[in-house]
Structure 1
Amino acid sequence: MSKPTSMPEIEWQSRCELAALYRLTAYYRMTDLIDTHITLRVPGPERHFLINRYGVAFEKMRASDLVLIDLDGKVVESSYNGGRVNTAGFIIHSAIHDARPDLHCIIHTHTVAGMAVAAQRDGLLPLTQHALKFYGNLAYHTYEGIALSLEERERLVADLGLHKAMILRNHGLLASGGSVAAAFHEIYFLERACQAQIQAMSAGVALSIPSEEVCRHTAAQFDRDGIDGIIDMAWKAALSLIDDQRADWCS
């Protein structure tokens, strides 16, 4: 199915890009049945954002499966395809979209490694180069139960601060960025860092942690704007892995 004639081109392109991100999240095995969620703000003064129609497998997400909602969780009348939206997804994502206009895309996952690190008192340890990307740049939010309360939004935003990634304790991971490519880069590195930590700890031997100086230096190296174009190159390379599905996800 092609773009409806009444839909702005920018919304359709946002839908296609977000649907591709859902499929890549599945490709890299970061899904949890129909739970977890990814959102993308549609450019414009209305501050609307897209979220998945609850019940669709990430592997099969299409542009038409995404629901356009406002910051109050109401489905926008011009939405291409309405449907049920996960309440917890709305609570978490609307809070950040409202408070952080610089973060256009937000990804939340419940991977085994992510949940395992979220359950550890010390959180993510500076054990690997992937983990050092987040050294001094990672927030934590204390678990309050399933995110169904509007009151939790203020605490989520306060805990996130100026960071782009956060560990939701006893829950999972959250990563974001100014673009789909940037958000994907954040969650990919955070997930890999968690996987490496759990595997390293399972060996039952002493762990090697770099010096404070090296940790800070490495984090600063990662913090270059756009990392010299690597983020966009990585996104395009990842998309090539599912390019044979393009006609389906953009429908």
Structure 2
Amino acid sequence: MTTDIAAAGPTYLADTHTGLPLAAEPRFESLEDARRHAKQRLAAAVRLFGKYGFGEGISGHLSVRDPEHHDRFWVNPFGVSFNRVRVGDLILVDMDGKVVAGDHPVNPSAFVIHSKIHQLRPDAVAAAHGHTVHARALAAVGRLLEPIDQESAAFYQDQVLYDAYEGPSISIAQGRDIAEKLAEKRALLLRYHGLITVGGSIEEAAHWFFTYDTCAQVQLLAAAAGTLQPMSEEQALAARDGFGDAQLGRFSFQLLWDEIVREQPDLLEED
């Protein structure tokens, strides 16, 4: 009996990649249920961007692909504060830039960037973009995250610097170039601009965005204090295997979801 228990592993570890007791991905009885879930999490992510100071005027947008019409995506509307967006304010946009559901216009930058990411990255169910202080500061010196702690290792060999700045992103060609440079990576840091993260769910994409920005802050602070001492490749890969786990990213957002829904329940209003 002792041998069987040892073979099965420690009883305190769950049967997940990370060994953590993480919940499985939600399953839905209908496409409408899946759509409501995605829209609720998207609205919550937008509110969280507002709460944590990621707003910069009209800049910044988050999207999630519609579970039924894969050539359409839900995104926060142009001209509505992150702090005020509700489920009912979200708009559905097709690949021609037409708003097919919702009462607000679409941010041109949101269309050209998100449409091409969703089009060229079938695995990118969601994308998050913002002009945050720490990401912009890191981009200003042309540096990506280095694996100086466990959290930053989540992006080890999974990020890219985009320095082809041509002004505000309002052309289809520029949106395509951004998506092509992102390629299969999790994060793209745009020099003179901001940050984009993607994921297999809006929960995951938002979590990677929050983590990247805090890691940028840590790196900037550490670099100002002394010489950075990154992990070895072996250490970085081991840390990425845990902290870069997609299931962990999705579950981590759930904590923020619980927080913001309790604080701002009006975000769930549908009309």
What TM-score range do you get, normalising by the shorter chain? 0.7 to 0.9
Residue 104 of structure 1 corresponds to 125
Structure 1: how far apart are the matches of 2:142 and 2:36?
A: 43
Give the conservation status (yes or no) of the 8 Å contact 1:22–1:59.
Answer: yes
Give the conservation status (yes or no) of the 8 Å contact 1:107–1:187.
Answer: yes
- Identity among equivalent pairs (%): 32
Residue 254 of structure 2 corresponds to 236
Structure 1: how far apart are the matches of 2:86 and 2:252?
A: 22
Larger Rg: 2
Give the conservation status (yes or no) of the 8 Å contact 2:63–2:76.
Answer: yes
Residue 24 of structure 1 corresponds to 48
Residue 177 of structure 1 corresponds to 199
Return 5+ residue gaps in structure 2 as ranges: 1-30
Aligned to 2:99, the other structure's residue is in SS state coil
Residue 33 of structure 1 corresponds to 57
Aligned length: 238
Aligned letter for 2:136? M
Residue 116 of structure 2 corresponds to 95
Q: 2:146 aligns with which of 125, 129, 132?
A: 125
Residue 135 of structure 1 corresponds to 156
| Residues 225/121 of structure 1: CA separation in 2 closer, same or farther (3 Å cut) | closer
Residue 77 of structure 2 corresponds to 53
Residue 188 of structure 2 corresponds to 166
Q: 1:152 aligns with which of 165, 169, 174?
A: 174
Asked if 1:83 is matched to 2:104, the reply is yes
TM-score (norm 1): 0.87
Q: 1:11 aligns with which of 31, 35, 44?
A: 35
Residue 266 of structure 2 corresponds to 248
Residue 4 of structure 1 corresponds to none
TM-score (norm 2): 0.81
Return 5+ residue gaps in structure 1 as ranges: 1-6
Give the conservation status (yes or no) of the 8 Å contact 1:34–1:58.
Answer: no
How far 1:245 sits from its partner (Å)?
A: 4.8
Structure 1: how far apart are the matches of 2:125 and 2:142?
A: 30
Task: Describe the superposition over 1:160-218 as per-residue Cα deviations: whole angstroms up to 9, x where unpaired.
Answer: 11112111112111111111221122112111110111112222x22222223322332
Structure 2: how far apart are the matches of 1:113 and 1:46?
A: 33
| Residues 207/225 of structure 1: CA separation in 2 closer, same or farther (3 Å cut) | closer
